[in-house]
Amino acid sequence: MVGNVVTVMMVVIDGGGSGFDVTLLDVSSLRLLLNMERTKAEEYKNLDFIEEVTTNVDEVQKRVLEEILTRNANVEYLQRLNLDGHIDRETFKKVEPIITFEDIQSDINCITNSDKSPILCSQPVSEFLTSFRTSIGERKLIPTTEEAQGRTSRLYRIMMFVVIQFVPDLGKGKGMYFMFIKSEAKTPGGLLARPLLTSFYKTRQFRSNSPYANYTSSIEAILCLDSYQSMYSQMLCGHCQNREVVRVGSTFASGFIRAMHFLEDHWSLLCNDIQIGTINDKVIDPSVREDVMKILKPDSELADFIEAECSNDSWQGIITRLWPNTKVRERRLYRYRVGDVLRVAGYKNNVPQFNFICRENVILSIDSDKTNEIELQNAVKNAENNLMSFDARVTEYTSYVDIATIPGHYVLFWELTVNAFAPVPPSVFEDCCLTIEESLNSVYRQGRASDKSIGPLEIRIVETGTFDKLIDYCCTSLLGASINQYKTTRCIKLAPLVELLNSRVVSSYFSPVCPKWAPGNKQWNNTD
């Protein structure tokens, strides 16, 4: 004991070989060693779990259903089905058809109004998770339990385990993720109602010692409700630890793109804060400032480095330039929903692996044509090649069908990053329109070239920052989503969103000629 500080040491003796090696470990080193061993044991356990559930698929599903029915045999919902003690799959399928949320709405209303009886589950409901509000209804309240939240955490750990099989040493650095929360509400019965990620970020599992839960963002910055202060503080923390970052991302790709736009607008402020080692006055939350100051230190060399990279004419490869040790960029372009169209792309043991094709309600269609999200994405990518020689790129886009014209036509809204010294000629944008049309399926091209049932495709260029305005509108005025939840939809139908985009159009261009199409083409019947 020195100065009332107790140093605990552990002696590790290695008796291998011809002699003995003695190593003294302090408490922090011992904890690190134990965490590494615990992580390694968990990885082996995860591998066994993955092999089990993907090999014995039918048996696993059968067992899980039987466990659910056994544990919840006395809940009101199952009592109504008159299962009479049966827990087999065949009986359950006969008495319980596929249902929708609306079929259990009255049960959920009872729970929200403080009915604590086992209505849907034998375990007590711990809180409600709120869904992203849709164009046709209010946000849904989804009951959950503490046990279910634990499963969510385990699934994330399993996902990370799969990733590290392909990216070695991923657990040896930090993740720069941009994470945000949404405000909470309480039901009449006193239970919390909040988005899934808001709930998860406030759990102890999120703050666990797992090496895959090691993030650059301070916890107070993540939990700050003000989106500007949260984004700025997380970006500042990410820069201060740039050499430790091995993976970057956000829940959805749109969130990370927004973060990069934020960096474009605020890099000079960030450089100044790093230069002098203090946070500017725009971050006013005292708990956020205190938390970030534990990470932020004056670093003129880092500030100069960031300034040199961000003031460069080209931002190509900016992520790996600013965070040079980045190995993985993680994001999700969707969430699976009932009705989504998927394609089986292969198998992991006996489990099918899927490619997402399109969302049931995200399809452009005027006549007999059907253009899905993936097809549109590939067409835009092809058209973007026309802009490369002008150092311009499409940063965001969406689309809708304009039926105000006869015939109706596809409209794409493009937000661009351009080089002021190399303006893009109108003819190039017209070429982009035609390239998109040439990239679409033969049914669309027939409608354009032969049937004349579809008008020329139009590209409308919008002001810089338009899609940020779109996000703000969806997150505050219309849909009540958090930044984490919001995903730029590639096909919009709500009139207020179309109006917002149209109000910021600076120029528009049409396809100058019809795309190529001829009867008997080998893709005649291709409507993918």
Residue type, 272: N
The confidence band for 267, taking pLDDT boundaries of 50, 70 and 90, is very high
pLDDT, residue 210, reads 62
Q: Say if CB 307 and CB 268 are below 8 A apart.
A: yes
Selection from 351, 372, 367 nearest residue 409 by Cα: 367
Locus of tokens 């700050």: 224
3-state secondary structure 89-135: HHHHHHHCCCCCHHHHHHHHHHHHCCCCCCCCCCCCCCEEEECCCEC
pLDDT tens-digit readout, 36-48:
566 667 777 888 8
Place 468 in a pLDDT band, splitting at 50, 70 and 90. confident
Beta carbons of 268 and 232 less than 8 angstroms apart? no
pLDDT of residue 446 exceeding 80: yes
Tens-digit pLDDT profile for residues 56-102: 999 999 999 999 999 999 999 999 999 988 999 999 999 998 888 88
Q: pLDDT-derived band of residue 166, with 50, 70 and 90 as boundaries?
A: confident
Asked whether 195 and 129 are in contact (CB, 8 A), the reply is: yes
Checking if the pLDDT of 17 tops 90, the result is: no
Residue matched to tokens 């305005």: 469
Lowest-pLDDT range, 69-73, 144-148, 182-186, 423-427? 182-186
Name the more confident of 453 and 487: 453
User: Once rounded to an integer, what is the mean pLDDT over residues 370-387?
Assistant: 92
Whole-angstrom distance, CA of residue 300 vs CA of residue 221: 23
Q: Quickly state the pLDDT bin for 311 (edges 50, 70, 90).
A: very high
3-state SS of 471-494 is HHHHHHHHCCCCCCCCCCCCCCCC
Q: What's residue 293's pLDDT? A: 95
Mention every residue, 6+ apart, whose C-beta is less than 8 A from residue 252: 331, 332, 333, 484, 485, 486, 487
108 against 361, higher pLDDT: 108
Strands 174-178 and 245-250, bridge-based pairing = parallel
C-alpha–C-alpha distance, residues 327 and 212, integer Å: 14
Q: What is the pTM of this model?
A: 0.69
Could you tell me whether strands 409-417 and 141-144 are parallel, antiparallel, or unpaired per DSSP bridges? unpaired
CA distance 128 to 198: 11
What average pLDDT does the chain have?
Answer: 83
